[in-house]
Chain A
């Protein structure tokens, strides 16, 4: 069975602080895909990144970076120098190789205070 755990329910930081959102997953598939989505108050899920199970390279995109470690089944997301506009709920998700059925974590609500 596939499962995604985001243990942090809520995080509050002050602007310009760095923050890391944790994601731990479980799957029996050898090929799988991990995603991060952002959900602002408007409700629409915004795609941030996709990673396949064979690519453990860390990725950086501006202030965002992702650390994928198969050994610990983790796919953590770091925001550097956070901004108020980063306030949202962030979801980590997992899908197998043969379907579009994504399993989402419970989400982490990030609040960035000015």
Chain B
């Protein structure tokens, strides 16, 4: 069974631009969560999507948004990029939403560098 895939793996953008990252969950998984990992703040929860609806949102500005498609694939978008948005963005999929025991399977991440 294929794991969680994320594209692209590496991305370089400049301040003020916008970026879209993609995540394909494990087949059959309907929940997709996004996390930001930086050296300073560590791993932080961005949001979770389930059945095309945002279920949970972390403490990030509105420049960070996402969506989920009917095939459970998810995209996250960051507009008006800032230097501090440079990070590893990790996507995780799980079978269901709403229960903390759901094991989350992580993708390899997209490393975003903002210049």
Residues of A at the B interface (CB closer than 8 Å) are 31-33, 37, 42-47, 50, 52, 91, 93, 95-107
Contact = CB atoms under 8 A, between A and B. Distances in A.
Contacts of B103: 47, 50
A29 to B, nearest CB: 8
Interface residues of B, number: 29
B94 to A, nearest CB: 6
A48 to B, nearest CB: 11
B63 interface: no
Interface of B: 31, 33, 35, 42-45, 48, 55-56, 58, 88, 90, 92, 94, 97-109, 111
Contacts of B33: 100-102
Given A43-B88, A100-B55, A95 B106 contact: no
30 contacts: A32-B100, A33-B101, A42-B108, A44-B106, A44-B107, A44-B109, A45-B90, A45-B92, A45-B106, A46-B106, A47-B105, A52-B101, A91-B43, A93-B43, A97-B101, A98-B100, A99-B48, A99-B100, A100-B33, A100-B55, A100-B94, A100-B97, A100-B100, A101-B56, A102-B35, A102-B100, A103-B45, A104-B35, A104-B42, A107-B42
Contacts of B98: 98-100
